[in-house]
Structure 1
């Protein structure tokens, strides 16, 4: 490409972004204008993509970690030939458009992940690179290199200031993810002004210490950009960081290089001045010269030709490697629905009585035999969260001393995230976004606070990340209040589209895993909350159908009207069918004991176990009417914050203060969770309110 045409292409990108922001009177023009030269080089000389097949598994992934620069990405997607017409660019940041303020996965073809919270996209990129390595180790052979995808991440000063990027960069360097190329837009400007107000470390040396290959280049010099990218692609043993010195808002004569252009439109006068300064001869807004369109059309044709060649080889590979092809299909299309998977998982735990974390560990082993794409790990807590997949390799660098761990390989299933909870969440999301794996990360529930941004982005993105949180109540015991979750279950349930399971016993634990691993739930993330202590086996009715658990709530034992005439109490309201006790998790055993005692006292009582509120709410409204009949009184019982239970219950038995350091049995009594304490508290409330 001639230099003059290249400059025209870069200016087209700059001005499309500036026009979008000006039209919306909202947005961030500075980074797109400063990154136009880099992005042009990537998209026209390096990135492999097929706009007509945006889900091609072997495409390179382009991650805009600096999500506020979304106008840049939308301009590139439009020019590259994705289904993003000019009318969508003109609707930037408007209601019901496919060009929202920050990129959203699934909403816009070509957007690889939802970004905006800084550092998240960078860490998603680490997960994508790891997933590509894992697929390559499983399926590439001398006949066909099925997966060769590279991950390109554009990141900003802000991305690299966020702690999550430091966590994930350290792990990427440790694992030697040579298919990861991060380009750092080093424009030295933040919202507050000069980045030196808050940032003075040598970023290059920091990343070299992490084990990265680091280069510097002028982000506006095409030859330097291309040479640095080629060198990064040639480095197979380390992830690469290209520190590109850029000018924010390049081309704006009065605002470039200042914080004024970071997050505000240029204004009509400055936009006109910018076009004059760039030698832009077109007066029409949102204009793309024909010769620029031709450049991108030619690149699209080249990429489609490469895609067609890959597809031909892939079809041949499937024919000549039927067993591998079958496993490949099982990775990308989960083979079981939730009902069938439940049947397969229940025998792993049957009628066992144990902590639900231990029961979950047994279920994971069974699931791993059935689902070759099941992988996962923890934040250095595998022995506690019971999440190690047995008889499977660990994913660690090949250079690791064999005395530490023999036979490391990217074909393994166990990921050692280290004590990096936030990075773990984002990397799990990145693996989910790449596709082909059902992946989980695990830690103690109290540390879900470290990962909340990742959980929220998983839900917003509609991806099937799984988060296993153990030690789910005050029953952690002696470790004390720093490790005892109180508000955490509800903090997770309040995230829209996140399915939170808190199973009570062996069967419910199997149901939780069957639900989240079933092929019907590939667009929804889930959290599974598990106990440290043993839990009682629920005694269910004779007509119990295990599939009922998959509805999120079901009747464990029903009202009984065979009451002792000399019983101590009776319900004063003749229209009230009785009390309905809702339990989750470890409180299931105490609740079934409480139900028996209330029945003996003359109060008809139903026990409803509700392992997943979200699954229950997917059901028709008539289902809740069935569980909670009109005029019944509903009581929630859960070892944690009570407040949000008011949506479902009339009386709330829980605990909303910080815990304490003591054995679990002591805390259970101190906090009022012995069955007789629950009974006495409830009876007192019912008497005060004139119910009995």
Structure 2
């Protein structure tokens, strides 16, 4: 056989394999009568090239730490990803493709982490996959700097992203693309499906910027591939991107949405099934059997199976290299194995400080003390703030900064709250790190969707919010959170922490690191009295979400979180002088309290005792705890610009108001 004949044969096999992928996606969407066939038809050559030839991964070990990552940021093209995972040998049987978008299947409408093996992150809201990939690439660069040795590059992988116009329209992509260029993430390669179509019609309706110049301005390496079906040109561009080690890469790939279908190149093929007649026409146009569905020709199956064989070999080579690394460098190897497993070092919690009671301390300052106290024994802890490290107190004093030295654990995210939190999710999903991002609590609004994605993925992402109430003072209503605390408590899988003092803050940090799920802390700007940790068994109490600081009073139960706990302690003293006995309960976490058994809940909040909750925020969520005979002192209005103590008092968050309302409840 001549060289040309061999080349023709390989080209034919490539096209057969690509069309197999195309029509698995088309058939899945058509059977579901729902989905997005356009992107899979246009982008299958990209996915085939990556998964069949270029990426290093092992379908038999989807969590192998040194695998190349692929993030489908335009998650509506999920049928493409599921087809790839099935053909490449992941544990995703054809029956799951046939149940695309159906209840209980592992092939939901958008990729969901934890459903199908090989799905790296949950992508749905556009731009977040792109931004999580920036976090993944950041994790790779940091872990490589920390653990690699010249002859043993145990972390050495690429992060590939497939994104669309919508991803690049979203503001979050601007945030993280800018930072990725600043951080020099040379192993981040984004393939942009530049098909000139959005859901509303041609992109010229709303997206006419020069994407190339934009990304060049972000310090990215940018290329253009003019035909998305040209595997040679695609591979050449990707290899050039891999050769660029100091800048992230964007490859603009001109594709045809709905390639091969009667609706090709139009918005009509974006977000709905083709329809039976159009499916037949598409199959005819691309030389596919019109009467077969979910069809995988034997030659294509064998060709795709090569990826699994190659993956096994690549991982075995890495295992051999790591075994040699472990012999040569047992200490870092042991630590590496531990952090990859997500296990904390034995006895790490002994480094958590116990704060003395003599001097009040803001919980944001206590948080910084705890962070730095455990830094040496929790090296996997990494993060920073959205240009607020001096205010949120979230910086490692003895670590370099990541943008200067990739071994550094301090990441300066800039004023990019949404991008920061999405990157934190990517850092967490990479493995080997426990990342955090920090800003003022009121700015959690900017990042809420990323926080929600963390909860959907059960990612071990930590969100540290400070300036947690109107007590922050003079900055006024725009900076004073009201509804934020209660609103975030509504998100499933997200643990809330609003500690009352320094020792509760220490306990919250311990739990946040241990729970392996997302959590947020709401910390104070103002100094707060310190609770005696041993006398009141603070750490045990915080683990239960709520606990009594004084259980002697039987007339009323006063409940508070955060800075308001010190107010109910004082109010209880005044009530006692008036002949009213009050039990005082600190409730740093609704989520943790809800996890307790019924007996504990009933013992802390007996049904027939009146209850008064106090929290400098929205009141709505308190009623499930206080019942029909209780009351809430909170804020269902915006705050005011004034010194913090005055703002709290004028808005009714005061000892006098608590005493007044408690007396009314007792008299009922």
TM over 0.5: yes
Q: Aligned in 2, Cα 1:656/1:545: closer, same or farther, shift over 3 Å?
A: closer
Q: Report SS of the residue matched to 2:112.
A: coil
Corresponding residue of 1:641: 618
Cα displacement string for residues 447-475 of structure 1 (whole angstroms, at most 9, x for unaligned residues): 00010010000000011100000000001
Cα displacement string for residues 88-116 of structure 1 (whole angstroms, at most 9, x for unaligned residues): 00000001100000011111100000001
Q: Report SS of the residue matched to 2:352.
A: helix
Corresponding residue of 1:582: 559
Corresponding residue of 2:213: 205
How many angstroms does 1:616 deviate by? 1.1
How many angstroms does 1:603 deviate by? 2.3
1:619 aligns with 2:619: no
Q: Aligned in 2, Cα 1:196/1:623: closer, same or farther, shift over 3 Å?
A: same
Q: Report SS of the residue matched to 1:265.
A: coil
Corresponding residue of 1:678: 658
Q: Report SS of the residue matched to 1:479.
A: coil
Q: Aligned in 2, Cα 1:258/1:498: closer, same or farther, shift over 3 Å?
A: same
1:305 aligns with 2:285: no
Q: Report SS of the residue matched to 2:566.
A: helix
Q: Residues 136-151 of structure 1 correspond to what in structure 2 (within 5 A)? A: 136-151=144-159
Cα displacement string for residues 286-314 of structure 1 (whole angstroms, at most 9, x for unaligned residues): 00001111111112111211110110110
1:360 aligns with 2:367: yes
1:74 aligns with 2:82: yes
How many angstroms does 1:509 deviate by? 0.4
Residues 536 and 588 in structure 1, CA contact (< 8 A), matched pair in contact too: no
Corresponding residue of 1:371: 378
Residues 345 and 377 in structure 2, CA contact (< 8 A), matched pair in contact too: no
Residues 533 and 539 in structure 2, CA contact (< 8 A), matched pair in contact too: no
Q: Residues 219-368 of structure 1 correspond to what in structure 2 (within 5 A)? A: 219-252=228-261, 254-281=262-289, 283-336=291-344, 342-347=349-354, 352-368=359-375
Matches of 2:424 and 2:505, distance apart in 1: 22
TM-score by length of 1: 0.93
Q: Report SS of the residue matched to 1:88.
A: helix
Consecutive unaligned residues of structure 1, counting only runs of 5 or more, are: 397-407, 561-576
1:557 aligns with 2:566: no
Q: Higher mean Cα deviation, 350-359 or 640-649?
A: 350-359
How many angstroms does 1:674 deviate by? 2.0
Residues 538 and 589 in structure 1, CA contact (< 8 A), matched pair in contact too: no
Q: Higher mean Cα deviation, 183-192 or 321-330?
A: 321-330
Q: Aligned in 2, Cα 1:321/1:539: closer, same or farther, shift over 3 Å?
A: closer
Q: Report SS of the residue matched to 2:245.
A: coil
Cα displacement string for residues 531-588 of structure 1 (whole angstroms, at most 9, x for unaligned residues): 000112236894636322211111111124xxxxxxxxxxxxxxxx431111100001
Q: Residues 403-552 of structure 1 correspond to what in structure 2 (within 5 A)? A: 408-518=404-514, 521-522=515-516, 524-538=517-531, 542=535, 544=537, 546-552=539-545
Query: Aligned residue pairs: how many?
Result: 656
Corresponding residue of 2:6: none
Corresponding residue of 2:27: 19
Matches of 1:543 and 1:143, distance apart in 2: 53
Residues 541 and 556 in structure 1, CA contact (< 8 A), matched pair in contact too: no
Corresponding residue of 2:111: 103
Cα displacement string for residues 606-639 of structure 1 (whole angstroms, at most 9, x for unaligned residues): 1111101101111112221111113111211101
Q: Higher mean Cα deviation, 113-122 or 665-674?
A: 665-674
Residues 537 and 589 in structure 1, CA contact (< 8 A), matched pair in contact too: no
1:666 aligns with 2:646: yes
Q: Aligned in 2, Cα 1:414/1:124: closer, same or farther, shift over 3 Å?
A: same
Residues 204 and 214 in structure 1, CA contact (< 8 A), matched pair in contact too: yes
Matches of 1:653 and 1:234, distance apart in 2: 61
Matches of 1:20 and 1:544, distance apart in 2: 56
Consecutive unaligned residues of structure 2, counting only runs of 5 or more, are: 1-8
Q: Aligned in 2, Cα 1:394/1:49: closer, same or farther, shift over 3 Å?
A: same
Q: Aligned in 2, Cα 1:298/1:330: closer, same or farther, shift over 3 Å?
A: closer
Cα displacement string for residues 236-289 of structure 1 (whole angstroms, at most 9, x for unaligned residues): 01000000000001010x211111110110111110111111111362210000
Q: Report SS of the residue matched to 1:652.
A: strand
Matches of 2:446 and 2:12, distance apart in 1: 49
Q: Aligned in 2, Cα 1:98/1:229: closer, same or farther, shift over 3 Å?
A: same
Residues 341 and 514 in structure 1, CA contact (< 8 A), matched pair in contact too: no
Q: Report SS of the residue matched to 1:331.
A: helix
Matches of 1:134 and 1:189, distance apart in 2: 37
Q: Report SS of the residue matched to 1:414.
A: coil
Matches of 2:358 and 2:99, distance apart in 1: 57
How many angstroms does 1:316 deviate by? 1.5
Q: Aligned in 2, Cα 1:543/1:119: closer, same or farther, shift over 3 Å?
A: closer
1:133 aligns with 2:141: yes
Q: 1:116 aligns with which of 117, 124, 134?
A: 124
- Tell me how large the CA RMSD over aligned residues is: 1.6
How many angstroms does 1:686 deviate by? 4.6
Matches of 1:485 and 1:66, distance apart in 2: 33
Corresponding residue of 1:165: 173
Q: 1:632 aligns with which of 592, 605, 609?
A: 609
